[in-house]
């Protein structure tokens, strides 16, 4: 059966001549300006202690994290994913040192750098340019929503305009950008989520990651959840919304993720989201039943 949406695996097969490629989640030891006091000390309301990075290898040196992953997934090619916290938030010298590590692993064929839209200094772009010429590079920008009221609710402390500026600087250098979006932010209507997707169609990032709005333990969001300050989406509602978003998203944008994905140890709610494979299968089943696909209603 052909996929009803442009999967990340399909993209990887096309990009790397059908070789099996896996992403290595890495904590490169960066902090985040929204947590370390550069912008704020509070952090985004949903952010966990590990800054969305790997929890089991969190304290290991970068080289050891890579070696351990490769040891457990032999015979493949790899994308190094600098995932935890904000991976452009350091001096140029430190960034150079940390990125350079991946080049001593011959089976690493790409680098993915996760960061905030307001945290790539002008002096960093030439380094990204250089990296992009040496290896396949993608930069993952956490946007979450184009709507200021949602960015404020999440305590992102950056604006949509800052995202646009960074996005254009990366694209003008031919660097692939993957945009992170959150689905189900309290107070956002379906219409407003469609507007975010419509903007993605206009901007044409290389890919998007859809995250379910979910609660992790020991976060400000967890406190709010326990005080019943908002409602989470039920599984059926989420599937309904995701299918509608996919129908409206341009078919050439790669879908890197379709649900919330976090370790069970730090996950709080909603419970149904813990079964990631079930959620993805339910989305696929719904799309098959509706005879629909990514881009069917894209404008």
- Residue number, 21 or 95, with CB nearest to ligand SF4: 95
Compute the least distance from the CB of residue 267 to ligand SF4, in Å.
Answer: 16
94 Cβ partners below 8 Å, 6+ apart?
none
Applying CB under 6 A, the residues found at the interface with ligand SF4 are 32, 34-35, 43-44, 47, 51-52, 85-86, 116, 142
Compute the least distance from the CB of residue 44 to ligand SF4, in Å.
Answer: 3
Q: Measure the CA angle with vertex 156, ends 151 and 157; round to 5°.
A: 100
- Residue number, 35 or 248, with CB nearest to ligand SF4: 35
Compute the least distance from the CB of residue 204 to ligand SF4, in Å.
Answer: 24
- Residue number, 57 or 87, with CB nearest to ligand SF4: 87
Query: Two tokens at 142?
Result: 């956490």
Compute the least distance from the CB of residue 281 to ligand SF4, in Å.
Answer: 28
- Residue number, 141 or 239, with CB nearest to ligand SF4: 141
Helical (H) or strand (E) element with 182? strand 176-183
CA distance 124 to 122: 5
Q: Strand, coil or helix: what is 164?
A: helix
Q: Strand, coil or helix: what is 93?
A: helix
- Residue number, 4 or 54, with CB nearest to ligand SF4: 54
> 191 and 147 in contact (C-beta within 8 Å)?
no
Compute the least distance from the CB of residue 177 to ligand SF4, in Å.
Answer: 16
């Amino acid at each position: 059966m052909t996929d009803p949406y442009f999967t990340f695996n399909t993209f990887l097969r096309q990009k790397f001549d059908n070789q099996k490629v896996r992403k290595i989640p890495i904590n490169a030891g960066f902090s985040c300006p929204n947590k370390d006091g550069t912008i704020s000390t509070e952090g985004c309301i949903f952010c966990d202690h590990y800054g969305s990075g790997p929890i089991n290898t969190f304290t290991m040196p970068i080289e050891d994290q890579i070696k351990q992953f490769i040891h457990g997934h032999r015979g493949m090619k790899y994308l190094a994913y600098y995932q935890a916290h904000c991976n452009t938030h350091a001096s140029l010298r430190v960034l150079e040192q940390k990125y350079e590590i991946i080049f001593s692993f011959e089976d690493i064929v790409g680098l993915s750098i996760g960061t905030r839209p307001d945290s790539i200094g002008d002096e960093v772009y030439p380094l990204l340019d250089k990296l992009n010429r040496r290896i396949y590079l993608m930069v993952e920008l956490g946007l979450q929503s184009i709507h200021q009221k949602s960015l404020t609710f999440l305590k992102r402390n950056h604006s949509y305009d800052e995202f646009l500026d960074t996005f254009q600087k990366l694209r003008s250098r031919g660097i692939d950008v993957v945009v992170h979006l959150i689905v189900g932010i309290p107070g956002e209507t379906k219409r407003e989520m469609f507007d975010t997707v419509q903007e993605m169609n206009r901007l044409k990032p290389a890919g998007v990651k859809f995250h379910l709005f979910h609660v992790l333990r020991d976060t400000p969001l967890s406190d709010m959840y326990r005080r019943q300050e908002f409602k989470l989406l039920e599984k059926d509602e989420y599937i309904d919304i995701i299918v509608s978003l996919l129908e409206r998203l341009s078919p050439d944008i790669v879908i890197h993720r379709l649900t919330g994905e976090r370790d069970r140890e730090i996950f709080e709610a909603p419970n149904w989201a813990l079964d990631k494979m079930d959620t993805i299968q339910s989305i696929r089943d719904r799309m098959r039943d509706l005879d629909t696909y990514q881009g069917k209603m894209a404008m």
